[in-house]
Copies of this chain bind each other. A is one copy, B any other.
Amino acid sequence: MSERKRRSDGERSRAAILDRASQLATVEGIEGLSIGRLAEAVGMSKSGLYAHFGSKEELQLATIETAYDIFRSAVLAPAAAASTGRERLERLTEGYLAYIERDTFAGGCFFASVLSEVDTQPGPVRDRLVAFLGEWLGLLESAIREAQAEGSLDAAEDPAQLTFEIEAAIFLANAQFVVLHDAEPIDRARRAIAKRLA
């Protein structure tokens, strides 16, 4: 096997393992994501997994980056291509709701699921998730400010307060969608946001 072929197989395998890990983390928790548990789930030996990830924490952080790539493709990239702040805001919120609605992860939004699990557990895993949350809220607030500057959103709105209210609707939609297996909370969030941005 050539060096290139071997590296490519290793990378494909690593990607497949991390994809499974990101699904599993939203159902069984990222704290439950041990090398042993994942080895069982993907049908590999523990030593085979250790060749990819040296520790549980390394595996957890790599899983978060995989989930982030999925989220970026699904939600962030289409929003970044918007030509106005208003359009970007709508793509961010609708992109997030659609990403939940089509069951991208078995346990709802990866970041909501995993951050609620480790919110009281200091360490690099929590730090990475809190950084994600800051980026996400920052994107919403920037889009709001830009829409206000464009004149497509009421300039009297407090951008941080509006960010909170929009995030509240989509955050609850995710939680209730996972619990109820029903699209109603997604629709309620759409209605709440449309009314707030009208």
Residue of B107, B120, B185, B192 touching A119 (CB-CB under 8 A): B107
Residue of B107, B112, B115, B133 touching A120 (CB-CB under 8 A): B107
Q: Are B117 and A192 in contact (CB under 8 A)?
A: no
Q: Are B26 and A179 in contact (CB under 8 A)?
A: no
Inter-chain CA distance A120–B106, complex, in Å, is 8
A39 beta carbon closer than 8 Å to chain B: no
Q: Which of A10-18, A48-56, A161-169 contacts B (4 or more CB under 8 A)?
A: A161-169
Task: State how many copies of this chain the complex holds.
Answer: 2
Q: Give chain B nearest CB distance to A83 CB in angstroms.
A: 29
A191 beta carbon closer than 8 Å to chain B: yes
Residue of B133, B161, B172, B179 touching A115 (CB-CB under 8 A): B179
Q: Are B168 and A120 in contact (CB under 8 A)?
A: no
Instruction: In the A-B complex, list the 5 residue pairs whose CB atoms are closest, starting with the nearest.
Output: A168-B168, A168-B172, A164-B188, A116-B116, A27-B120
Chain A interfacial positions (CB closer than 8 Å to B): 26-27, 29, 31-32, 106-108, 112-113, 115-117, 119-121, 130, 133, 160-161, 164-165, 167-169, 171-173, 175, 178-179, 185, 188-189, 191-192
